[in-house]
Amino acid sequence: MVTLYGVLHSRATRTIWLLDELDMRYDLKPVIQAYRLEAQGLDPLAPDAPLNTRSPEFLRLSPAGAIPVIEDEGLLLSESLAINLYLAKKAGGPLAPKDVREEALMTQWALYGATSIEDAALEIMFAYVNGADEGGQRVIEAASDRLRRPFAVLETHLKAHSHMVGGRFTVADINIAEVVRYAQGHKPLMTEFPRVASWLEHCQARPAFKKMWATRLAETA
């Protein structure tokens, strides 16, 4: 059984979504981000601190001190997008690549999401989380400007294809949807790219996403 280290208020959401899509058993070991403890005035290295990204025992699993991490039959793997590609391929079925060409395309989209979309999308999300004051609005507008080119790439692709790869819902859709989600709260940007918005809503209508999201909202860690 896969052991997943992390919490749902992290990039672990994309892996939990996939695991639920695959109906794959897993054991979730809560590991909270150290900065969240510090925001509460707590010392991540205190003897009574919950397991967190600076805990020595976790750093033995993930020297980078980042979640999520999985342990599967002796394999330790970090980087959420890579974790998802691995799990999908291991499980097989419609969410996995059917051949080496699809595997290459799924890898391409994962890397594109990580390098061209995620940072700016996260800036938008955190600006809204922090209240989107005047300074936050400037951050949102600057990040939106940086996203217009990669979102245009997605929009063009989704005009010609129903999904990211293979004409069906796959791990590639989960990976990109979870990256794009960070910018979803900025409605003017999503309105600019209706195919992206429609595809994202379709992905998020899936029962496995709804299950993951409900669990995330209930998380107290």
The whole-chain average pLDDT of the chain stands at: 96
What is the per-residue pLDDT for 221?
63
89 and 115 share one domain: no
Q: How far apart are CA 118 and CA 205, in angstroms?
A: 22
Write the CATH number for 38.
3.40.30.10
78 and 125 share one domain: no
Q: Mean per-residue pLDDT for 153-178?
A: 98
14 and 70 share one domain: yes
Given 63, 94, 125, the domain boundary residue is 94
66 inside domain? yes
Q: Count other C-beta atoms under 10 Å from residue 9's C-beta.
A: 15
What is the per-residue pLDDT for 4?
98
What is the per-residue pLDDT for 63?
95
53 and 148 share one domain: no
90 and 108 share one domain: no
Tell me the pLDDT tens digit for each residue of 35-68. Answer: 999 999 999 999 999 999 999 999 999 999 999 9
Instruction: Sheet containing 75-78: give its strands across.
Output: 26-29, 2-5, 69-72, 75-78
Given 31, 62, 94, the domain boundary residue is 94
111 and 57 share one domain: no
Given 42, 74, 94, the domain boundary residue is 94
129 and 152 share one domain: yes
Write the CATH number for 129.
1.20.1050.10
180 and 126 share one domain: yes
Q: Domain total for the chain?
A: 2
Tell me the pLDDT tens digit for each residue of 31-41. Answer: 999 999 999 99
Which residues span the domain enclosing 57? 2-94
Cα–Cα distance list, 101 to 55, 61, 90, 107, 108 (Å): 40, 32, 17, 10, 11
**In percent, how much of the chain has pLDDT > 70?**
100
Q: How far apart are CA 43 and CA 45, in angstroms?
A: 5
Q: What angle do CA 164, 85, 210 make, to 5 degrees?
A: 70
Split at pLDDT 50, 70, 90, the class of 176 is very high
Tell me the pLDDT tens digit for each residue of 107-159. Answer: 999 999 999 999 999 999 999 998 878 888 999 999 999 999 999 999 999 99
87 and 125 share one domain: no
Tell me the pLDDT tens digit for each residue of 2-20. Answer: 999 999 999 999 999 999 9
198 inside domain? yes
